């Protein structure tokens, strides 16, 4: 039996309309998972195995509705992948306070809210797996990444506390820390970086599939995925 077959598993993904979220959704669909896909660009669409919903992770009511509709449709959620994120880059002294606030709101507050609602559900089930997409910028000081690094460092800290709080309740929480990924994340960023040396986005989604389908008996708290040439 193919251990990567996900028939019967329900997986919720935020930020599912682009980048890592979109690529991961496509891969997990091929593997037979039930998918609950949230994105600001989505409108409600439903098939037997896929529920697409509008989701603004900054808004608690939107997150609550996303969670409630997921449970109403599939009865349970086994895996949450927090992929929603925004990056706006400038030196700290020249940066916009509004940009800083947005990154904290989307990247950190949004992760907190989804973990809160789906974590409570997993606690009742006595099992589940949460993946929080961090960034190498959350562990390494990079020029121009002040607000982004602050938000992602916060996600890493939040994840570490969740690991301690939820481990004995049967819930695994994993920090996924990729270096630069060749994805739509860079579409609106100028000057455009060299994407050719970055991690292919499908590589990150394949790593997520590998982690989702690991045998029980050990928890993976953190994984760092780097481009072949290191930090770009």
The tens place of each residue's pLDDT in the chain, 232 residues long, gives 466 789 999 999 999 999 999 999 999 999 999 999 999 988 899 999 999 999 999 999 999 999 999 999 999 999 999 999 999 999 999 999 999 999 999 999 999 999 999 999 999 999 999 999 999 999 999 999 999 999 999 999 999 999 999 999 999 999 999 998 888 777 777 777 777 888 999 999 999 999 999 988 899 999 999 998 887 6
Q: Specify the CATH number for the domain of residue 135.
A: 3.40.50.720
Give Cβ neighbours of residue 59 (< 8 Å, ≥ 6 apart).
Answer: none
Separation CA 86–CA 145 (nearest Å):
12
Distance, first Cα to last Cα, the chain:
40
Helix (H, G, I), strand (E, B) or coil at 26: helix
Position 1 scores a pLDDT of 47
Is 2 a member of any domain? no
Is 4 a member of any domain? no
Is 189 a member of any domain? yes
Position 232 scores a pLDDT of 63
Asked whether 120 and 163 are in contact (CB, 8 A), the reply is: no
Is 171 a member of any domain? yes
Q: How many residues does the structure list for the chain?
A: 232
219 is catalytic: no
- The residue from 117, 148, 210, 219 that is catalytic is 148
- Reported in sequence order, the residue ranges of 157-204 that DSSP labels E, i.e. its strands, are 171-178, 181-182, 199-200
Distances in Å between the Cα of 4 and the Cα atoms of 159, 175, 179 are: 25, 21, 25
Segments forming the whole domain that contains residue 35:
10-225
Counted domains in the chain = 1
Position 192 scores a pLDDT of 74
Report the 10 Å Cβ neighbour count for 194.
9
Is 232 a member of any domain? no
Is 200 a member of any domain? yes
Angle at 177 between CA 22 and CA 96, to 5 degrees: 80
Give Cβ neighbours of residue 127 (< 8 Å, ≥ 6 apart).
Answer: 78, 170, 171
Position 4 scores a pLDDT of 79
Is 49 a member of any domain? yes
Is 73 a member of any domain? yes
Burial class (CB in 10 A: 0-12, 13-18, 19+), 16: buried
């Amino acid at each position: 039996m193919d251990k990567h077959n996900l028939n019967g598993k329900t997986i919720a993904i935020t930020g599912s309309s682009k980048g890592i979220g979109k690529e991961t959704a496509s891969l997990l669909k091929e593997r037979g998972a039930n998918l609950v896909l949230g994105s600001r660009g989505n409108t409600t669409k439903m098939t037997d195995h896929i529920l697409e919903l509008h989701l603004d992770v900054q808004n608690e009511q939107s997150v609550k509705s996303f969670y409630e509709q997921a449970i109403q449709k599939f009865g349970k959620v086994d895996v949450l992948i927090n992929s929603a994120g925004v990056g706006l880059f400038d030196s700290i002294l020249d940066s916009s306070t509004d940009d800083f606030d947005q990154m904290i709101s989307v990247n950190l507050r949004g992760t907190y809210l989804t973990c809160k609602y789906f974590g409570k559900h997993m606690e009742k089930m006595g099992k589940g797996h949460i993946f929080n997409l961090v960034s190498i910028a959350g562990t390494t000081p990079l020029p121009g990444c002040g607000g982004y690094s602050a938000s992602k460092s916060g996600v890493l800290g939040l994840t570490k506390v969740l690991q301690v709080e939820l481990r004995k309740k049967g819930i695994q929480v994993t920090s996924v820390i990729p270096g630069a990924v060749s994805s739509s994340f860079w579409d609106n960023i100028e000057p455009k970086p060299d994407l050719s040396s970055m991690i292919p986005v499908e590589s990150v989604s394949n790593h997520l599939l590998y982690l989702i389908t690991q045998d029980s008996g050990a928890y993976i708290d953190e994984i760092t995925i780097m481009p072949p040439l290191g930090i770009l």
